[in-house]
Structure 1
Amino acid sequence: SGTTGKPKACPFETQRAAGLTGRVGAMGLKTGPNGDRWYVCMPLYHGTGGTTALVCMVTGITCCIGTKFSTSRFWTDVRDSNSTGIVYVGETARYLINTPPSALDRKHKVRFMFGNGLRPDVWHRFVDRFGIEIVGEFFNSTEGVMALFNGSRGPFTATSVGHQGAIERWRTRNTYVPVECDMVTGELVRDPKTGFCRRKSYEEGSEILVAMPHESAFVGYWNNPEATEKRFERNVFKKGDLWYHT
């Protein structure tokens, strides 16, 4: 994981693989020999590329592996492999949209893209230029305990990192909790008298903390207890409570 600074190794438990397959149904993907073909040129040791390859193996979707990400080779590889889906991470979509327009921009079979970090100023331009039907934008980290997913098929959910309905938001209201923090330092703002934090509304936004039943609910970083401890926040709303930094 590189979400919190320098890359750190972390365990990835087999049981998490079952949960990852939810993205297949959410985007309406077709499995099997005549189904979708997912082009992956992101590093397989990183969460996004690695878990996508894992999902392909578990569900039977064809995984088309590129040797590396290249703006000049990307769409050629996609066309040569007859891929119907692509994976992006961070600014890779921006690199692709910044290439000169071509008559081949829509000469492919891609109908969906999946990844994280697609910025609002890139989202619409990318979808319109390359003719993408579905954008599967997610928020999570390799070791994370909270995941948001937005299987966007149009402008209503476009440019969102995740989309939850009223029922799901109510169900998790005391599990995923935005708290006031210093947007510069990232430190939580605590009341000088009580020492506790102030909850914020989802509309206001801030860092979301995740309620943890115990420390072992987080897999942690491999042989790195100091980095693992930094992901926890204690005594947030009451003495003895335990929360996870997202």
Structure 2
Amino acid sequence: MRERRDGLNVFNVFEAHARSRSAAQRDRAFIVFDGRETTYAQAYDIVLRYAAWLRSAHGIGRGDIVAMDLLNSDLFIWLWLALWSLGAKPAFINYNLAGRPLLHSVRSSLAGLVLVDPEVADHFTNELKEELGKEGKADDGSVQPPMAVQVMTPEIEAEAFKSEPYRAPNEDRAGQKRPDMAMLIYTSGTTGLPKPAVVSWAKCAAASIFVSNFLPLKAGDRMLTAMPLYHSSASIIGYLSALRRGCTTIIARRFHASTYIRIASETRATLIQYVGETCRYLLATPPSSHDTDHCIRLAFGNGMRPDVWTKFQDRFRIPAIVEFYGATEGPAVLFNWSGNSFTAGAVGHNGALSKALMGRRAALVKLDPDAPDMDTPARDPVTGFCKRIPPGSNVPGELLFRLDPADIKLNFQGYWGNAKATSKKVYRDVFAKGDAWFSSGDVLRMDGEGRWWFVDRIGDTFRWRSENVSTAEVSEVLGHDEDVLEANVYGVQVPGHEGRAGCAAVVFKGTTGGGDDAELGHPHLRAKLDTIARHALANLPKYAVPVFVRVTRDMAATGTNKQQKVALRNEGVDPEKVSRKEGKGDRLFWLKRDRYEPFGKREWEEIVVGRVKL
């Protein structure tokens, strides 16, 4: 215990398992990747070898920040733990990034070294490496040091593995406080350049302890994730929770819908993780014997749509689904452990006691309908305070989490080197003078049964015909159409019209990968457009029925399978801006009475000159 006196560093948890008095724990599989099983004891030796290499080859030590641009692998885990063992801090870079977003991400970490997966080494062009080799300046004026780029080739891995194991002295990990940075994890960048969110030691501990107890995890559990480890869902909610309990993490290089359940079956996974539209993609695969020939007792993650939930659970015979809601940088999360239809689709569920506790820590507030994009809470013109939506009233509002006004960083450490972005996430004087609350940026509602329902992302909701339209709710309705594989709804500006008109980018079943149904005039496409029109008109208020439909073969998504709307919203419905590669690109249609008809350059020009009103 003396060695772990300052035990906030999670490396100490790993070390305790690897050096446990129990041979069963030491010899338990820690990481499974690409057919290789590495025990806790074996992993400990490997991690200390990488620590020695980082120290000798790159001079990494206490307090240093090292960026990691790596795909999912056991190497990701070895380097992460090696850095923590040295008292250094990792910054996880989205491996899909290239060009300006990549330069911004690695630069904003203030790291002096970036470790790169050979598979994405070509993202580091000579020009980018030259830029990284210069000293820079961050938005807050802090100096960005020159950065070395190390590609983790097999030769470099072999060199590192030859090092004698090095365990840094306890002092190198000591002295950390709960709000101190453990690592940097970036926002998804769906609304702009990624921002490095500070993940504290307190969050690493609280999240992993809570999740491992809530699921609950057992020592013999085997958790499968194909979600990218650069994201908090896989790294904190998934891997760190498994580490906390001392069980096994199975890592897939990437998510492939066609192989995910098979991998779960072959690796004897007892838990699987999902994010975003993962489960929708799994449902779109052909039936297989692996669908039910598995050991999965629970699927957990965030972002499963209500229209997918029961279909997924029934087809793959998953006894329970645990959905959680939260943000990497947020101070709290919501959880819903669902084993029946009563809570299916909810992002959180509180009983009487937890409802009372959440009432003190969380609140819903109405948004100002007159604010641009409805992104500001409504305030009383007399008092200047916001009005709390009564819990259980089922009225939508922005979800806020309470912060300590005297010490904001106690529960919200903000964005690294970006005070402006950090301050925008904090609302003050909300219900009383001097209070402080974290802005989630999301609209939720809580019903009388204590179930939390996601309504929309602020900025995604739009106004049309003087009514508020929730993109998430419209997408859910469209998702119940049997012909629709995926729908992504957003508002578009149309000349001569107030507000934004609804547009649904739709992938129909049978159109992905270049199917003929995507062709304009194909009879199957005509039938599917007629079906979706009837379905929308029958199940949505008239103002919420999408005015436009954009038929596409593939939906743009983040690395965590979350839909991207920005590019679609920027292109709008101007046919010149909508991609038409070799005449086989996306197709636009607009609602004419009760049918979606082709929408092209002539129709657009008629709207622009004012001859046609929607």
Give TM-score, length-normalised by structure 1.
0.91
Counterpart in the other structure of 2:338: 152
- RCO comparison, higher one (Cα < 8 Å, 6+): 1
Distance change in 2, residues 1:244/1:4 (3 Å): farther
Amino acid at match of 2:326: N
User: Structure 2 residue aligned with 1:105, among 284, 291, 307?
Assistant: 291
CA distance in structure 2 between the aligned counterparts of 1:3 and 1:150, rounded to whole angstroms: 26
Specify which structure has the higher proportion of strand. Answer: 2
User: Structure 2 residue aligned with 1:231, among 420, 425, 434?
Assistant: 425
The alignment partner of 1:28 has SS state of: coil
Query: Deviations 1:22-53 (Å, cap 9, x if unpaired)?
Result: 2223223321xxx1110011111101011111
Q: Which has the larger radius of gyration?
A: 2
Distance change in 2, residues 1:211/1:104 (3 Å): closer
Amino acid at match of 1:21: I
Counterpart in the other structure of 1:207: 398
What pairs with 1:51-200 in structure 2 (closer than 5 Å)? Answer: 51=236, 52-182=238-368, 184-200=373-389
Task: For residue 93 of structure 1, report the CA deviation from its aligned partner.
Answer: 1.0
Please tell me whether the aligned partners of residues 234 and 243 of structure 1 are also in contact (alpha carbons under 8 angstroms). yes
Task: For residue 194 of structure 1, report the CA deviation from its aligned partner.
Answer: 2.6
The alignment partner of 1:221 has SS state of: coil
My pick for the range that moved more, 139-148 or 6-15, is 6-15
- 1:9 has 2:196 as partner: yes
Task: For residue 237 of structure 1, report the CA deviation from its aligned partner.
Answer: 2.0
Please tell me whether the aligned partners of residues 212 and 242 of structure 2 are also in contact (alpha carbons under 8 angstroms). no
- 1:244 has 2:438 as partner: yes
Counterpart in the other structure of 1:25: 213
Amino acid at match of 1:205: P
Amino acid at match of 2:423: E
The alignment partner of 1:12 has SS state of: strand
The alignment partner of 1:168 has SS state of: helix
Please tell me whether the aligned partners of residues 27 and 134 of structure 1 are also in contact (alpha carbons under 8 angstroms). no
CA distance in structure 2 between the aligned counterparts of 1:50 and 1:60, rounded to whole angstroms: 15
Counterpart in the other structure of 1:49: 234
Query: Deviations 1:151-208 (Å, cap 9, x if unpaired)?
Result: 1122222221111111222233232111111475222112223322111122223112
Please tell me whether the aligned partners of residues 301 and 322 of structure 2 are also in contact (alpha carbons under 8 angstroms). yes
Task: For residue 209 of structure 1, report the CA deviation from its aligned partner.
Answer: 1.4
Amino acid at match of 1:233: Y
Please tell me whether the aligned partners of residues 196 and 238 of structure 1 are also in contact (alpha carbons under 8 angstroms). yes
Distance change in 2, residues 1:119/1:110 (3 Å): same
Counterpart in the other structure of 2:224: 39
My pick for the range that moved more, 181-190 or 198-207, is 181-190
Task: For residue 243 of structure 1, report the CA deviation from its aligned partner.
Answer: 1.3
CA distance in structure 2 between the aligned counterparts of 1:233 and 1:130, rounded to whole angstroms: 43
My pick for the range that moved more, 54-63 or 233-242, is 233-242
Task: For residue 3 of structure 1, report the CA deviation from its aligned partner.
Answer: 8.0
Query: Deviations 1:60-116 (Å, cap 9, x if unpaired)?
Result: 110000000111221222122111111111111111112222333112211111100
My pick for the range that moved more, 123-132 or 78-87, is 78-87
CA distance in structure 2 between the aligned counterparts of 1:28 and 1:189, rounded to whole angstroms: 40
Task: For residue 10 of structure 1, report the CA deviation from its aligned partner.
Answer: 1.7
CA distance in structure 2 between the aligned counterparts of 1:26 and 1:154, rounded to whole angstroms: 17
Specify which structure has the higher proportion of helix. Answer: 2
My pick for the range that moved more, 13-22 or 58-67, is 13-22
CA RMSD of aligned residues (A): 1.8
Q: Mark the runs of 5 or more structure 2 residues left unpaired by the alignment.
A: 1-186, 441-614
Please tell me whether the aligned partners of residues 402 and 438 of structure 2 are also in contact (alpha carbons under 8 angstroms). yes
CA distance in structure 1 between the aligned counterparts of 2:203 and 2:385, rounded to whole angstroms: 33
The alignment partner of 1:174 has SS state of: helix
CA distance in structure 2 between the aligned counterparts of 1:114 and 1:95, rounded to whole angstroms: 16
Task: For residue 117 of structure 1, report the CA deviation from its aligned partner.
Answer: 0.7
Distance change in 2, residues 1:178/1:120 (3 Å): same
Please tell me whether the aligned partners of residues 84 and 112 of structure 1 are also in contact (alpha carbons under 8 angstroms). yes
Please tell me whether the aligned partners of residues 257 and 285 of structure 2 are also in contact (alpha carbons under 8 angstroms). yes
Distance change in 2, residues 1:95/1:40 (3 Å): same
CA distance in structure 2 between the aligned counterparts of 1:22 and 1:107, rounded to whole angstroms: 30
The alignment partner of 1:21 has SS state of: helix
My pick for the range that moved more, 172-181 or 59-68, is 172-181
CA distance in structure 2 between the aligned counterparts of 1:55 and 1:27, rounded to whole angstroms: 10
Give aligned-pair identity as a percent. 39
Amino acid at match of 1:92: T
CA distance in structure 1 between the aligned counterparts of 2:353 and 2:224, rounded to whole angstroms: 35
The alignment partner of 2:363 has SS state of: strand
